[in-house]
Amino acid sequence: MFKSKKRILATAGIAATTLVASLVAATAPAAAAVDCAPYAAYGKHTGKTVEFNTSILDPEKSTFQKVWKDFESCTGITINFTGTNQFEAQLPVRVAGGTAPDLAVFPQPGLLAKMVETGKVLPAPASVVANVDKYWSKGYKDLGSVGGKFYAAPLGSSLKSLVWYSPKQFAKNGYAVPTTWAQLTSLADRMAAKKQTAFCGGIGSGGATGWPATDWVEQMVLREHGAQVYADWTTNKVKFSDPRIQSAMKKVAGWMQNPKWVGNVKKIATTTFQDAGQGIPSGKCMMLQQASFYAGQFPEKNIIAADGDVYAFYLPGTNPKVKTPILTAGEFVGAFASRPEVAAVQAYLSSAEFATAKVAEGGWATANNGVPLFKYKDPIQRLSAQYLSNKNATAVFDGSDIMPASIGAGKMWTEFTAWFAEGKSIAAVTKALDAAWPKS
């Protein structure tokens, strides 16, 4: 009924709206001319079109189009945004059929590597290489590289190495935000002594149940043993049964399977990740390790700010030899065409100018350190950017997204769920995962 009434009102107002629009058009000042100086380096490509193929959909699609509108106007390039929720399934089909897009936004390095194997993805042009060398840490360039050759520049990024908490509840209890692992565990003990649940947890996620537990293990493999062991683990050079991976899992067990800190361990397996942190504003539970995108799970009434109902802090490292370890997720832009206009768009998307304009729209973060932090409207995105753009950080990509899908989005989920839900031993879990790794 409400929708029907709304439609009637809209129809009735057409004539009045048209009249007002005519009066406004007659009296409004002319639109300000676009300053094309920032886009001069990209050249003139009048009448050219570049396809930008991605899994990104509205409303973010509209933000991209708004941000690059002046670029299109000044260069003459029309960027044809083709978004689909079937991107990962459709892209290999298009490439095999000879209809590959000009630019593709790869949601993880694994798909990029798979497409590079086809021989159709082109190495990044010099302009893109220069931008990435200037604005990103080496770790991000490595993520966009295959076989030592650089193909795809980072686009957006999210930070997974955060702990959500309530500044108001911390202030009420006299707690300080921990900056070391020792401080974090000491704080958890203090909370437990006051009969508070130090860490919330939930790994339920429908058909993807178990994925938050993979993040917890990835955090510890990186923090305990560094980027090289982490990288070798994601490619099976280091087995799950390796003592280093097992030690990282034991660290997770001492943290997220510690009844003193989490309460009922088995309940973590039946609690959805969306619900896991809902008790933070009220103090029902005190901390939750989750990514920056978890901000969207809190009700609008909860103020997300450093002095608000909820906020987040960086998950401290555990090994001082591993400098500022961060687990990330994000996208990478690679090209299937070498036309000048394609290279121009590719270079623009890797620039500080594009990234700065995009973050100013809100709801998006990047590891591009050419973006001034004050441009971020969202406090969590600003906090994330402080770490994402740190060129000295030890940055790695979500490991389960790099592993073969049968492991990272399959067996790893089910085995880690059994680890929490059934108390399956680490030895049994790692043995099953090693046995399941694809032979080729």
What pLDDT does residue 4 have? 32
What pLDDT does residue 382 have? 95
* Three-state secondary structure readout of 340-382: HHHHHHHHHHCCHHHHHHHHCCCCCCCCCCCCCHHHCCCHHHH
If asked whether residues 48 and 97 sit together in one domain, one would say yes
In a domain, 275, yes or no: yes
In a domain, 1, yes or no: no
If asked whether residues 264 and 319 sit together in one domain, one would say yes
In a domain, 10, yes or no: no
If asked whether residues 284 and 378 sit together in one domain, one would say no
If asked whether residues 245 and 266 sit together in one domain, one would say yes
Classify the C-alpha dihedral 352-297-198-168 as positive or negative: positive
What pLDDT does residue 110 have? 84
What pLDDT does residue 30 have? 52
If asked whether residues 306 and 430 sit together in one domain, one would say yes
Q: Which helix (H) or strand (E) holds 127?
A: helix 126-135
If asked whether residues 260 and 187 sit together in one domain, one would say yes
In a domain, 60, yes or no: yes
Mark the ranges of the chain whose per-residue pLDDT is less than 50.
1-26, 28
CATH of the domain at 407: 3.40.190.10
If asked whether residues 299 and 429 sit together in one domain, one would say yes
In a domain, 7, yes or no: no
In a domain, 3, yes or no: no
If asked whether residues 143 and 170 sit together in one domain, one would say no
If asked whether residues 280 and 428 sit together in one domain, one would say yes
In a domain, 4, yes or no: no
What pLDDT does residue 188 have? 98
What pLDDT does residue 88 have? 87
What pLDDT does residue 363 have? 83
In a domain, 113, yes or no: yes
If asked whether residues 390 and 406 sit together in one domain, one would say no
Give the span between the Cα atoms of 151 and 141, in whole angstroms.
9
What pLDDT does residue 13 have? 39
Of the candidates 242, 246, 285, 296, the one whose C-alpha atom is nearest the C-alpha of residue 263 is 285
If asked whether residues 207 and 233 sit together in one domain, one would say yes
What pLDDT does residue 31 have? 53
| 374 alpha carbon, distance to own chain's centre | 20
What pLDDT does residue 140 have? 87
**Which residue range forms the structural domain that includes residue 85?**
43-159+327-397
pTM: predicted TM-score of the whole model, two decimal places: 0.82
Please tell me the total count of domains within the chain. 2
How far is the CA of 4 from the CAs of 1, 10, 13, 15, 18, in angstroms?
A: 5, 10, 14, 19, 22
If asked whether residues 336 and 313 sit together in one domain, one would say no
